[in-house]
Protein backbone atom coordinates (compact mmCIF):
# COMPACT_ATOMS: atom_id res chain seq x y z
CA UNK A 1 0.00 0.00 0.00
CA UNK A 2 3.03 2.27 -0.02
CA UNK A 3 2.18 3.47 -3.54
CA UNK A 4 -1.21 4.74 -2.37
CA UNK A 5 -1.96 8.12 -0.91
CA UNK A 6 -2.52 8.34 2.82
CA UNK A 7 -6.14 8.28 3.88
CA UNK A 8 -7.76 11.68 4.27
CA UNK A 9 -9.33 13.13 7.41
CA UNK A 10 -12.82 12.29 6.13
CA UNK A 11 -11.81 8.70 5.37
CA UNK A 12 -10.27 8.32 8.82
CA UNK A 13 -13.46 9.72 10.34
CA UNK A 14 -15.77 7.36 8.46
CA UNK A 15 -13.59 4.32 9.17
CA UNK A 16 -13.55 5.24 12.87
CA UNK A 17 -17.34 5.63 12.94
CA UNK A 18 -17.88 2.40 11.04
CA UNK A 19 -15.59 0.54 13.45
CA UNK A 20 -17.61 1.78 16.43
CA UNK A 21 -20.93 0.78 14.87
CA UNK A 22 -19.78 -2.61 13.60
CA UNK A 23 -18.17 -3.63 16.90
CA UNK A 24 -21.40 -2.65 18.69
CA UNK A 25 -23.49 -4.70 16.24
CA UNK A 26 -21.08 -7.63 16.63
CA UNK A 27 -21.59 -7.71 20.40
CA UNK A 28 -25.36 -7.30 20.17
CA UNK A 29 -25.58 -10.17 17.69
CA UNK A 30 -23.49 -12.40 19.95
CA UNK A 31 -26.19 -12.08 22.58
CA UNK A 32 -29.12 -12.41 20.19
CA UNK A 33 -27.61 -15.51 18.57
CA UNK A 34 -27.14 -17.19 21.95
CA UNK A 35 -30.69 -16.31 23.02
CA UNK A 36 -32.40 -17.22 19.71
CA UNK A 37 -34.64 -20.28 19.62
CA UNK A 38 -35.73 -19.82 15.99
CA UNK A 39 -33.29 -21.47 13.62
CA UNK A 40 -34.06 -19.23 10.64
CA UNK A 41 -33.50 -16.08 12.70
CA UNK A 42 -30.33 -17.54 14.17
CA UNK A 43 -28.99 -18.35 10.70
CA UNK A 44 -29.59 -14.77 9.50
CA UNK A 45 -27.78 -13.37 12.53
CA UNK A 46 -24.90 -15.86 12.40
CA UNK A 47 -24.20 -15.07 8.75
CA UNK A 48 -24.38 -11.35 9.48
CA UNK A 49 -22.09 -11.70 12.49
CA UNK A 50 -19.49 -13.60 10.49
CA UNK A 51 -19.34 -10.98 7.75
CA UNK A 52 -19.27 -8.08 10.20
CA UNK A 53 -16.12 -9.55 11.75
CA UNK A 54 -14.58 -9.65 8.26
CA UNK A 55 -15.26 -5.93 7.74
CA UNK A 56 -13.97 -5.05 11.20
CA UNK A 57 -10.75 -6.88 10.32
CA UNK A 58 -10.50 -4.99 7.01
CA UNK A 59 -10.80 -1.64 8.76
CA UNK A 60 -8.21 -2.76 11.32
CA UNK A 61 -5.71 -3.61 8.57
CA UNK A 62 -6.20 -0.23 6.85
CA UNK A 63 -5.69 1.68 10.09
CA UNK A 64 -2.62 -0.39 11.05
CA UNK A 65 -1.04 0.19 7.64
CA UNK A 66 -1.56 3.92 8.14
CA UNK A 67 0.05 3.83 11.58
CA UNK A 68 -3.22 4.85 13.24
CA UNK A 69 -4.28 3.52 16.62
CA UNK A 70 -7.09 0.97 16.49
CA UNK A 71 -10.24 2.26 18.23
CA UNK A 72 -11.44 0.40 21.29
CA UNK A 73 -15.03 0.20 20.13
CA UNK A 74 -16.94 -2.53 21.93
CA UNK A 75 -15.29 -5.66 23.29
CA UNK A 76 -16.24 -8.92 24.98
CA UNK A 77 -16.54 -6.96 28.23
CA UNK A 78 -19.60 -5.18 26.81
CA UNK A 79 -21.72 -8.29 26.34
CA UNK A 80 -22.91 -11.16 28.51
CA UNK A 81 -24.47 -13.65 26.08
CA UNK A 82 -25.42 -16.17 28.77
CA UNK A 83 -28.18 -14.19 30.51
CA UNK A 84 -31.89 -14.92 29.89
CA UNK A 85 -33.82 -13.33 27.04
CA UNK A 86 -34.39 -9.61 27.48
CA UNK A 87 -36.75 -9.43 24.49
CA UNK A 88 -39.40 -11.73 23.04
CA UNK A 89 -39.13 -13.52 19.70
CA UNK A 90 -38.89 -11.42 16.52
CA UNK A 91 -37.39 -8.43 18.34
CA UNK A 92 -33.89 -9.54 17.32
CA UNK A 93 -34.63 -9.49 13.58
CA UNK A 94 -36.72 -6.31 13.77
CA UNK A 95 -33.85 -4.67 15.63
CA UNK A 96 -31.33 -5.92 13.07
CA UNK A 97 -33.56 -4.58 10.30
CA UNK A 98 -33.51 -1.10 11.83
CA UNK A 99 -29.74 -1.25 12.31
CA UNK A 100 -29.42 -2.06 8.62
CA UNK A 101 -31.69 0.88 7.72
CA UNK A 102 -29.28 3.13 9.62
CA UNK A 103 -26.26 1.48 8.03
CA UNK A 104 -27.58 1.82 4.47
CA UNK A 105 -27.77 5.59 4.85
CA UNK A 106 -24.38 5.85 6.54
CA UNK A 107 -22.53 3.64 4.04
CA UNK A 108 -23.91 5.62 1.11
CA UNK A 109 -22.83 8.87 2.76
CA UNK A 110 -19.40 7.46 3.64
CA UNK A 111 -18.96 6.16 0.09
CA UNK A 112 -19.35 9.72 -1.16
CA UNK A 113 -16.71 10.87 1.33
CA UNK A 114 -14.12 8.28 0.22
CA UNK A 115 -11.41 8.89 -2.41
CA UNK A 116 -8.98 6.01 -2.14
CA UNK A 117 -10.10 3.07 -4.25
CA UNK A 118 -9.61 0.54 -1.47
CA UNK A 119 -11.96 2.46 0.83
CA UNK A 120 -14.47 3.15 -1.95
CA UNK A 121 -14.60 -0.60 -2.59
CA UNK A 122 -15.05 -1.27 1.14
CA UNK A 123 -18.13 0.94 1.33
CA UNK A 124 -19.53 -0.48 -1.90
CA UNK A 125 -19.25 -3.96 -0.42
CA UNK A 126 -20.74 -2.80 2.88
CA UNK A 127 -23.67 -1.22 1.04
CA UNK A 128 -24.43 -4.44 -0.86
CA UNK A 129 -24.01 -6.58 2.25
CA UNK A 130 -26.26 -4.29 4.28
CA UNK A 131 -29.00 -4.34 1.65
CA UNK A 132 -28.80 -8.13 1.52
CA UNK A 133 -29.21 -8.47 5.30
CA UNK A 134 -32.06 -5.96 5.27
CA UNK A 135 -33.88 -7.97 2.59
CA UNK A 136 -33.46 -11.20 4.60
CA UNK A 137 -34.89 -9.49 7.69
CA UNK A 138 -37.90 -8.17 5.77
CA UNK A 139 -38.58 -11.59 4.19
CA UNK A 140 -38.35 -13.30 7.57
CA UNK A 141 -40.66 -10.82 9.30
CA UNK A 142 -43.23 -10.96 6.49
CA UNK A 143 -43.20 -14.76 6.48
CA UNK A 144 -44.01 -14.66 10.18
CA UNK A 145 -46.69 -11.96 9.77
CA UNK A 146 -45.06 -9.55 12.21
CA UNK A 147 -44.17 -6.71 9.84
CA UNK A 148 -47.17 -4.45 9.40
CA UNK A 149 -47.34 -2.64 6.04
CA UNK A 150 -48.00 1.11 5.85
CA UNK A 151 -51.61 2.27 5.27
CA UNK A 152 -53.14 1.42 1.88
CA UNK A 153 -54.17 4.12 -0.61
CA UNK A 154 -56.34 4.44 -3.71
CA UNK A 155 -54.18 4.59 -6.82
CA UNK A 156 -54.18 7.99 -8.65
CA UNK A 157 -56.04 8.08 -11.96
CA UNK A 158 -54.71 11.39 -13.29
CA UNK A 159 -51.79 13.81 -12.89
CA UNK A 160 -52.67 16.76 -10.64
CA UNK A 161 -50.94 20.04 -9.81
CA UNK A 162 -51.27 22.21 -6.72
CA UNK A 163 -53.78 24.94 -7.56
CA UNK A 164 -53.03 27.51 -4.83
CA UNK A 165 -51.08 28.06 -1.61
CA UNK A 166 -53.91 26.68 0.52
CA UNK A 167 -52.38 23.25 -0.23
CA UNK A 168 -49.54 24.22 2.11
CA UNK A 169 -51.68 25.61 4.92
CA UNK A 170 -52.09 23.79 8.19
CA UNK A 171 -51.15 26.11 11.04
CA UNK A 172 -54.41 28.08 11.08
CA UNK A 173 -56.59 26.60 13.82
CA UNK A 174 -59.75 28.02 12.24
CA UNK A 175 -59.31 26.50 8.78
CA UNK A 176 -59.58 22.92 7.64
CA UNK A 177 -56.39 21.00 6.98
CA UNK A 178 -56.19 19.10 3.72
CA UNK A 179 -55.78 15.34 3.82
CA UNK A 180 -52.21 14.10 4.05
CA UNK A 181 -50.44 13.13 0.86
CA UNK A 182 -48.58 9.84 0.53
CA UNK A 183 -45.14 11.45 0.97
CA UNK A 184 -46.20 12.89 4.33
CA UNK A 185 -47.84 9.64 5.41
CA UNK A 186 -44.68 7.69 4.61
CA UNK A 187 -42.51 9.79 6.92
CA UNK A 188 -45.13 9.83 9.68
CA UNK A 189 -45.54 6.06 9.50
CA UNK A 190 -41.80 5.43 9.42
CA UNK A 191 -41.34 7.63 12.49
CA UNK A 192 -44.08 5.76 14.34
CA UNK A 193 -42.63 2.36 13.41
CA UNK A 194 -39.05 3.21 14.42
CA UNK A 195 -40.14 4.83 17.69
CA UNK A 196 -42.22 1.81 18.67
CA UNK A 197 -39.12 -0.34 18.28
CA UNK A 198 -37.03 2.29 20.10
CA UNK A 199 -39.55 2.42 22.95
CA UNK A 200 -39.45 -1.35 23.38
CA UNK A 201 -35.66 -1.41 23.17
CA UNK A 202 -35.20 1.32 25.72
CA UNK A 203 -37.75 -0.27 28.06
CA UNK A 204 -35.58 -3.38 28.17
CA UNK A 205 -32.46 -1.27 28.65
CA UNK A 206 -34.09 0.55 31.58
CA UNK A 207 -34.88 -2.78 33.28
CA UNK A 208 -31.26 -3.96 33.25
CA UNK A 209 -29.21 -0.74 33.45
CA UNK A 210 -26.65 -0.77 36.23
CA UNK A 211 -26.26 2.92 37.08
CA UNK A 212 -29.34 4.78 38.45
CA UNK A 213 -28.68 7.83 36.21
CA UNK A 214 -28.60 5.55 33.15
CA UNK A 215 -31.83 3.86 34.20
CA UNK A 216 -33.44 7.27 34.69
CA UNK A 217 -32.17 8.39 31.28
CA UNK A 218 -33.69 5.36 29.55
CA UNK A 219 -37.04 5.91 31.28
CA UNK A 220 -37.01 9.50 29.99
CA UNK A 221 -36.34 8.18 26.48
CA UNK A 222 -39.22 5.75 26.77
CA UNK A 223 -41.61 8.60 27.53
CA UNK A 224 -40.22 10.67 24.65
CA UNK A 225 -40.76 7.79 22.19
CA UNK A 226 -44.25 7.24 23.57
CA UNK A 227 -45.13 10.91 23.04
CA UNK A 228 -43.82 10.87 19.46
CA UNK A 229 -45.83 7.74 18.64
CA UNK A 230 -48.98 9.22 20.17
CA UNK A 231 -48.68 12.62 18.48
CA UNK A 232 -47.86 11.25 15.02
CA UNK A 233 -50.62 8.63 15.24
CA UNK A 234 -53.07 11.42 16.04
CA UNK A 235 -52.05 13.27 12.86
CA UNK A 236 -52.82 10.16 10.81
CA UNK A 237 -56.18 9.69 12.52
CA UNK A 238 -57.13 13.31 11.77
CA UNK A 239 -56.93 12.35 8.08
CA UNK A 240 -58.99 9.20 8.74
CA UNK A 241 -55.91 7.03 8.31
CA UNK A 242 -55.87 4.08 10.64
CA UNK A 243 -52.26 3.18 11.50
CA UNK A 244 -51.46 -0.47 10.92
CA UNK A 245 -51.38 -2.66 13.98
CA UNK A 246 -47.90 -2.92 15.43
CA UNK A 247 -45.89 -6.08 15.92
CA UNK A 248 -45.78 -7.66 19.33
CA UNK A 249 -42.16 -8.29 20.30
CA UNK A 250 -41.55 -6.62 23.66
CA UNK A 251 -39.17 -6.70 26.59
CA UNK A 252 -39.44 -9.69 28.92
CA UNK A 253 -39.30 -9.45 32.71
CA UNK A 254 -35.56 -10.21 32.85
CA UNK A 255 -33.46 -8.01 35.15
CA UNK A 256 -30.05 -9.33 34.06
CA UNK A 257 -28.12 -7.09 31.68
CA UNK A 258 -26.86 -8.66 28.44
CA UNK A 259 -24.99 -5.45 27.59
CA UNK A 260 -22.88 -2.91 29.41
CA UNK A 261 -24.33 0.50 30.22
CA UNK A 262 -21.73 1.90 27.83
CA UNK A 263 -23.02 -0.17 24.90
CA UNK A 264 -26.68 0.56 25.65
CA UNK A 265 -25.98 4.29 25.88
CA UNK A 266 -24.10 4.27 22.57
CA UNK A 267 -26.89 2.30 20.88
CA UNK A 268 -29.45 4.82 22.15
CA UNK A 269 -27.26 7.67 20.88
CA UNK A 270 -27.10 6.03 17.44
CA UNK A 271 -30.89 5.77 17.35
CA UNK A 272 -31.18 9.45 18.35
CA UNK A 273 -28.92 10.49 15.48
CA UNK A 274 -30.97 8.35 13.09
CA UNK A 275 -34.20 9.96 14.35
CA UNK A 276 -32.77 13.42 13.84
CA UNK A 277 -31.93 12.60 10.23
CA UNK A 278 -35.40 11.19 9.63
CA UNK A 279 -37.00 14.28 11.18
CA UNK A 280 -34.94 16.50 8.89
CA UNK A 281 -36.11 14.60 5.81
CA UNK A 282 -39.71 14.65 6.97
CA UNK A 283 -39.48 18.40 7.56
CA UNK A 284 -38.01 18.96 4.10
CA UNK A 285 -40.57 16.95 2.14
CA UNK A 286 -43.78 17.75 4.04
CA UNK A 287 -45.79 20.48 2.31
CA UNK A 288 -48.54 20.98 4.89
CA UNK A 289 -47.20 23.76 7.11
CA UNK A 290 -48.12 22.22 10.46
CA UNK A 291 -46.02 19.11 9.82
CA UNK A 292 -42.57 20.75 9.48
CA UNK A 293 -43.32 22.73 12.65
CA UNK A 294 -44.28 19.56 14.50
CA UNK A 295 -41.24 17.64 13.24
CA UNK A 296 -38.91 20.50 14.13
CA UNK A 297 -40.19 20.45 17.71
CA UNK A 298 -39.69 16.68 17.83
CA UNK A 299 -36.15 17.08 16.51
CA UNK A 300 -35.46 19.67 19.22
CA UNK A 301 -36.60 17.20 21.91
CA UNK A 302 -34.51 14.39 20.41
CA UNK A 303 -31.45 16.64 20.17
CA UNK A 304 -31.80 17.71 23.79
CA UNK A 305 -32.23 14.09 24.87
CA UNK A 306 -29.18 13.01 22.86
CA UNK A 307 -27.07 15.79 24.39
CA UNK A 308 -28.07 14.67 27.89
CA UNK A 309 -26.94 11.16 26.96
CA UNK A 310 -23.63 12.49 25.70
CA UNK A 311 -23.01 14.16 29.05
CA UNK A 312 -23.65 10.89 30.89
CA UNK A 313 -21.31 9.01 28.55
CA UNK A 314 -18.56 11.62 28.90
CA UNK A 315 -18.87 11.72 32.69
CA UNK A 316 -18.52 7.95 32.95
CA UNK A 317 -15.65 7.65 30.45
CA UNK A 318 -17.77 5.83 27.87
CA UNK A 319 -17.43 8.31 25.01
CA UNK A 320 -14.47 7.36 22.85
CA UNK A 321 -13.01 10.49 21.29
CA UNK A 322 -12.82 10.60 17.48
CA UNK A 323 -9.42 11.31 15.89
CA UNK A 324 -8.70 15.04 16.03
CA UNK A 325 -7.00 17.50 13.73
CA UNK A 326 -3.70 19.01 14.81
CA UNK A 327 -4.06 21.83 17.34
CA UNK A 328 -1.64 24.29 15.77
CA UNK A 329 -1.95 26.82 18.58
CA UNK A 330 -1.02 24.14 21.13
CA UNK A 331 1.89 22.95 18.99
CA UNK A 332 3.23 26.49 18.73
CA UNK A 333 3.10 26.89 22.51
pLDDT tens column, 99-137: 999 999 999 999 999 999 999 999 999 999 999 999 999
User: What integer best gives the mean pLDDT of the chain?
Assistant: 91
**Which residues neighbour 21 within 8 Å (Cβ) at sequence distance 6 or greater?**
102, 103, 106, 270
Neighbours of 321 (CB within 10 A): 8
Closest-CA residue to 73 (of 130, 21, 142, 144): 21
pTM of the model: 0.92
User: At 3, is the pLDDT very low, low, confident or very high (cuts 50, 70, 90)?
Assistant: very low
Residue 331 has pLDDT above 80, yes or no: no
pLDDT tens column, 257-267: 999 999 999 99
pLDDT tens column, 14-42: 999 999 999 999 999 999 999 999 999 99
For the chain, how long is the longest CA-to-CA vector? 71
**pLDDT (0 to 100) of residue 166:** 82
**pLDDT (0 to 100) of residue 161:** 94
- DSSP letter at 169 equals -
Residue 272 sits at φ, ψ, to 5 deg, of: -60, -45
Q: What is the DSSP string of 222-242?
A: HHHHHHHHHHHHHHHHHTT--
- C-beta separation of 262 from 317 below 8 A: no
List domains and CATH numbers for the chain: 9-143 (1.20.1260.10), 178-315 (1.20.1260.10)
**pLDDT (0 to 100) of residue 4:** 59
Mean pLDDT of 263-289: 90
- Distances in Å between the alpha carbon of 205 and those of 40, 70, 222, 244, 253? 25, 28, 10, 26, 11
Q: What percent of the chain is predicted at pLDDT more than 70?
A: 94
Residue 282 has pLDDT above 90, yes or no: no
**pLDDT (0 to 100) of residue 245:** 64
Better pLDDT: 179 or 139: 139
Amino acid sequence: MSDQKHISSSELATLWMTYQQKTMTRRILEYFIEAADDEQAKEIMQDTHKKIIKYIDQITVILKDEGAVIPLGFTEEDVNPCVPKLFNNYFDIMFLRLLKEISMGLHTLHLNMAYRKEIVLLYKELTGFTQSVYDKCVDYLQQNNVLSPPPSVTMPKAVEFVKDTSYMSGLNLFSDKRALNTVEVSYLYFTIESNILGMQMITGFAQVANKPEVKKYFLKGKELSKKIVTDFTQVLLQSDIQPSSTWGAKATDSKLAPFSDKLMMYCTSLFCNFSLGNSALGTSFSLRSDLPTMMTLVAKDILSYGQDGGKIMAKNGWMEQPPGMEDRNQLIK
